[in-house]
Amino acid sequence: MEQKKPVFVAIATQKGGVGKTTFTVLLASHYYYRLGYNLLIIDCDRPQYSIVEMRERDSQLVMKNDYYKRKAYNQFKELNRKAYTVIRAKAEEALDKAEECIGNSTEPYDIILFDLPGTVNSVGVLRTISKMNYLFSPISADKMILTSTLSFFDTLNKELVSRGQTDIMGMYLYWNQVDGREKTGLYFVYEKIIKDLGLQIMQTSVPDTKRFRKEMSEDDRKAVFRSTLFPPDRRLLKGSSLEELFLEIQGIIRL
Q: H or E segment at 149? A: helix 143-156
Sign of CA dihedral 94, 144, 237, 189: negative
What are the phi and psi torsion angles at 22 (to 5°)?
-60, -45
Q: Quick one: what percent of the chain has pLDDT higher than 70?
A: 92
C-alpha distances in Å from residue 78, one per residue of 2, 55, 63, 106, 242: 30, 21, 19, 20, 24
Confidence of residue 123 (pLDDT cuts 50, 70, 90): low
pLDDT at 70: 92
DSSP 210-234: GGGG-B--SS--S---B-SSSPPPH
pLDDT at 1: 46
* Mean of pLDDT values over 221-233: 88
Q: Comparing 104-108, 170-174, 181-185, 216-220, which segment has the lowest mean pLDDT?
A: 181-185
Q: How far apart are CA 226 and CA 55, in angstroms?
A: 11
The size of the chain, in residues, is 255
pLDDT tens-digit series, residues 15-52: 667 788 999 999 999 999 999 999 999 999 888 899 99
Look at residue 122 and tell me whether its pLDDT is greater than 70. Answer: no
Q: Which residues have CB under 8 Å from 192's CB, separation 6+?
A: none
Beta carbons of 113 and 27 less than 8 angstroms apart:
yes
* Mean of pLDDT values over 131-147: 89
Look at residue 211 and tell me whether its pLDDT is greater than 80. Answer: no
Q: Is the peptide bond prior to 6 cis by the omega test (within 30 degrees of 0)? A: no
53 vs 181, which has greater pLDDT?
Answer: 53
pLDDT at 72: 95
**In whole numbers, what is the pLDDT of the chain averaged over residues?**
89
* Mean of pLDDT values over 129-144: 90
What are the phi and psi torsion angles at 180 (to 5°)?
-60, -15
* Mean of pLDDT values over 56-85: 94
What count of other Cβ atoms lies within 10 Å of the Cβ of residue 171?
24
Cα angle 180-181-182, degrees, rounded to a multiple of 5? 95
pLDDT tens-digit series, residues 140-177: 888 888 888 888 888 888 878 878 889 999 999 999 98
Look at residue 237 and tell me whether its pLDDT is greater than 70. Answer: yes
Amino acid at 201: I
Radius of gyration of the chain (CA): 18
* Mean of pLDDT values over 96-119: 93
